[in-house]
Structure 1
Amino acid sequence: MVELQTPQLDSIFHALGDSTRRRMLFELADGERTVGQLAEPFSISLAAASKHIKALENAGLIRREIHGRTHLCRLEPGPLASAHNWLGFYERFWTERLGVLEQLLRMEDSGKTTDPEGDDS
């Protein structure tokens, strides 16, 4: 069963709803990064980057470790599984529609379609 009312799912989709945060996650897929390294491609301040990182942390998507003055961020992909499961439930609707579209296109390619007004031409 798909969970509709989970605070974690809400925070995951909130975090993924921002392109800056999605890019940060993409960068973290290659390995840990400092806050400065995550901020660099966006020309944003460390404070702004830290707010984005906090949203990712709240969703459980990253973990931040502090070593002296350096904040290292690491991807935590586990929570993405719950978002994937939620989306997967709806995948069947797209699959069905794409299947119907494929059938229609194959019929059209083979010349088996009929005119909606009744003329076969």
Structure 2
Amino acid sequence: MQMQPIFRALADPTRRDILLMLSKDSLTIAQISDQFEMTRGAVKKHLTVLEQGNLIQVQTRGREKLNRLNPKALQPAFDWLGYFESFWDEKLSNLKTLIEIDTTERPRHD
């Protein structure tokens, strides 16, 4: 899976805020626009980027288009970032061990 569109979508704080909103409920563009001081056109551009990243799905109901979070699309990014979490866990664990060894080998000046 191509992750560039996912990370592009997540790079913007407004889009992250929109995802948080959509994690609670499916919303129309108007409902999302009401939460921001920007035009509906600007919100639509953000939604388009989120849709390109497959982070949201748009469902048409009558004349309304409901935007819904697609949480499964976050999994590849989560997995990729998880590698670095384990990488840093290992590095920090090694550092802790070295510090503990250094501390126990120093003579005490009591």
Shorter-chain-normalised TM-score: which range?
0.7 to 0.9
Structure 2 unaligned runs (5+)? none
SS at match of 2:104: coil
Write the letter of the residue equivalent to 2:31. Answer: Q
Q: Alpha-carbon deviation of 1:66?
A: 2.4
Q: Which has the higher contact order (CA 8 A, sep 6+)?
A: 2
Report percent identity of matched pairs: 36
1:112 paired residue among 101, 104, 108: 104
Residue 49 of structure 1 corresponds to which residue in structure 2?
A: 43
Task: Give the length in aligned residue pairs.
Answer: 108
1:39 paired residue among 33, 41, 56: 33
Residue 67 of structure 1 corresponds to which residue in structure 2?
A: 61
Structure 1 unaligned runs (5+)? 1-5
- Structure 2 length-normalised TM: 0.83
Q: Alpha-carbon deviation of 1:120?
A: 5.8
2:80 paired residue among 86, 93, 110: 86
Q: Distance in 1 between matches of 2:96 and 2:17?
A: 33
